[in-house]
């Protein structure tokens, strides 16, 4: 079998998604997600200008060899653009291999280690009453674990909480220039324990609650927050400090027993070496789409398993159903599965990307379709072309740029 076509499809059924479609001389096709939110076209160029020409004529069964060829062969290794492009190739090849075998991908990864995949949903509110309503809505949708994000008194627009412009419309993603959010770490640290207190009082002790600090804290601030949240037994505190410095987590770990999760902006196992071998975290949170695909993420999970660290694949709305499907196959197969982030996609997105995975009672299952189980409707995709969009940026109240 040979690869005879490599095509990149960009579509925006509400938000941008980049998809690689490989076709073989047998007529098999494979899909891979290459969406890098706010920098989509850089990956499109990387794939179309630099990777697609190399793939033509290759044997699609040689997944490991192709991964090494793209990773080592680029010389300029790692980085989100390179690794998103490499991930798309890797997932498309797994899709083809599984279709050729007539099996759902999870069977090729060792088969199911569980019956279904536990997820967590996103609840958010500009204030506590709005957040409580949002948690209730998540529970009504079937979720059995919930991430809680809240507005902070005195701040206009905070990560994870819907922002509005002067006219009141949502402006989080579709903007010609990035939305500017504002930030005050002290105000945040004062407020969040009260948020957990209110949610625990309303929903009881058993509901797993998660929280994302989105890389904004120093190690000492993160230790303080972890310690203050201990009475509320959070499932985890996510991305407490900026991603670059693994050593920071030594300080946080010394201060708190709140479980720690990190990794959505990591691209390779090297970003985790200290964190895993020193057992500084409890969950690895990389996305299939930003970590080079199923091949390296499986290796990361096996490495983490030696240290009782569990998986928690990043699953925001900006991972397409193609990336989500690959994640759910891996979730079902690995022994050290922890939890899967899942906020679903719009009805329109689910029409452009018809998928076999299902969501029932807060749990996902990849389905039994051969491959990853996603079909791309290229006509519908073309009817919703690329739209320029940025993620927000963040400034302190005196105007200083801060981590978003």
Spatial separation of the C-alpha atoms in residues 137 and 118, rounded to whole Å:
18
| Helix, strand, coil shares, percent, the chain, to 5 | 40, 20, 40
Contact map string, positions 98 to 137, toward ligand EZ4, x by CB under 6 A? ----------------------------------------
For the chain, the C-alpha Rg in angstroms (whole number) is 21
Q: What is the DSSP letter of 207?
A: S
- Binding positions for Co ion, 259-318, rule CB under 5 A: 264
341 binds Co ion (CB under 5 A): no
Spatial separation of the C-alpha atoms in residues 9 and 151, rounded to whole Å:
36
Spatial separation of the C-alpha atoms in residues 365 and 351, rounded to whole Å:
19
Contact criterion met (CB below 8 Å) for 193 and 229: yes
- Binding positions for ligand EZ4, 36-65, rule CB under 6 A: 37
Has 159 been annotated as catalytic?
yes
Q: What distance, in Å, lies between the first and last C-alpha atoms of the chain? A: 45
Nearer to Co ion, 96 or 209 (CB): 209
393 binds ligand EZ4 (CB under 6 A): no
391 binds ligand EZ4 (CB under 6 A): yes
Nearer to ligand EZ4, 58 or 240 (CB): 240
Work out how close the CB of 215 gets to ligand EZ4 at its nearest, in angstroms, rounded to a whole number: 9
Q: Which of 122, 191, 214, 215 is catalytic?
A: 214
316 interface partner picked from Co ion, ligand EZ4, none, CB below 5 to 8 A per type: ligand EZ4
Q: Which of 71, 159, 188, 342 is catalytic?
A: 159
Strand partners, 240: none
14 binds ligand EZ4 (CB under 6 A): no
Q: Give how far Cα 268 sits from Cα of 19, 79, 279, 349, Å.
A: 21, 8, 17, 29
Which of 184, 212, 317, 331 contacts Co ion by CB under 5 A? 212
Work out how close the CB of 68 gets to Co ion at its nearest, in angstroms, rounded to a whole number: 30
181 interface partner picked from ligand EZ4, Co ion, none, CB below 5 to 8 A per type: none
Contact criterion met (CB below 8 Å) for 13 and 386: no
Contact map string, positions 18 to 37, toward ligand EZ4, x by CB under 6 A? -------------------x
Indicate if the alpha-carbon torsion angle 110, 27, 372, 84 is positive or negative. positive
Spatial separation of the C-alpha atoms in residues 239 and 261, rounded to whole Å:
6
Q: Which residues bind Co ion (CB under 5 A)?
A: 212, 264
Active site (catalytic) residues: 159, 214
Q: Which residues bind ligand EZ4 (CB under 6 A)?
A: 37, 212, 214, 264, 316, 318, 341, 391
């Amino acid at each position: 079998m040979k690869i005879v076509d490599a095509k990149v499809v960009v579509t925006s059924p509400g938000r941008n998604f980049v998809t690689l479609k490989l076709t073989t001389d047998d007529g098999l096709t494979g899909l891979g997600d290459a969406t890098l939110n706010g920098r989509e076209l850089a990956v499109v160029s990387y794939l179309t200008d630099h990777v697609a020409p190399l793939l033509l004529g290759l044997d699609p069964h040689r997944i490991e060899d192709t991964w090494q060829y793209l990773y080592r062969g680029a010389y300029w290794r790692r980085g989100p653009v390179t690794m998103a492009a490499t991930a798309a190739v890797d997932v498309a090849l797994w899709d083809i291999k599984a279709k050729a075998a007539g099996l759902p991908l999870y069977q090729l990864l060792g088969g199911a280690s569980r019956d279904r995949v536990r997820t967590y949903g996103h609840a958010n509110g500009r204030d506590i009453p709005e957040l409580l309503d949002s948690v209730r809505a998540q529970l009504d949708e079937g979720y059995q674990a919930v991430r809680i994000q809240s507005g902070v008194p005195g701040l206009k627009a905070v990560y994870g909480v819907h922002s509005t412009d002067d006219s009141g419309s949502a402006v989080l993603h579709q903007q010609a220039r990035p939305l500017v959010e504002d930030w005050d770490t002290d105000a945040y640290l004062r407020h969040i324990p009260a948020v957990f207190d209110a949610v625990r009082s309303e929903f009881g002790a058993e509901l797993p609650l998660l929280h994302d600090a989105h890389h904004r804290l120093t190690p000492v601030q993160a230790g303080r927050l972890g310690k203050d949240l201990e009475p509320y037994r959070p499932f985890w505190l996510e991305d407490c400090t900026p991603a670059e410095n693994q050593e920071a987590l030594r300080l946080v770990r010394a201060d708190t027993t709140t479980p720690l999760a990190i990794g959505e902006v990591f691209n390779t196992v090297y970003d985790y070496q200290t964190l895993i071998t020193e057992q500084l975290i409890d969950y690895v949170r990389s996305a299939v789409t930003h970590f080079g695909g199923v091949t390296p993420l499986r290796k990361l999970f096996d490495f983490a398993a030696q240290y009782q660290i569990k998986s928690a694949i990043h699953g925001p709305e900006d991972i397409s159903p193609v990336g989500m499907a690959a994640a759910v196959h891996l979730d079902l197969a690995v022994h050290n599965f922890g939890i899967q982030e899942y906020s679903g996609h719009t009805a329109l997105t689910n029409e452009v990307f018809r998928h076999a995975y299902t969501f029932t009672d807060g749990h996902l299952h990849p389905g039994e379709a051969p491959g990853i189980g996603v079909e791309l409707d290229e006509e519908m995709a073309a009817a919703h072309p690329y739209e320029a969009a940025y993620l927000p940026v963040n400034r302190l109240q005196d105007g200083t740029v801060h981590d978003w």
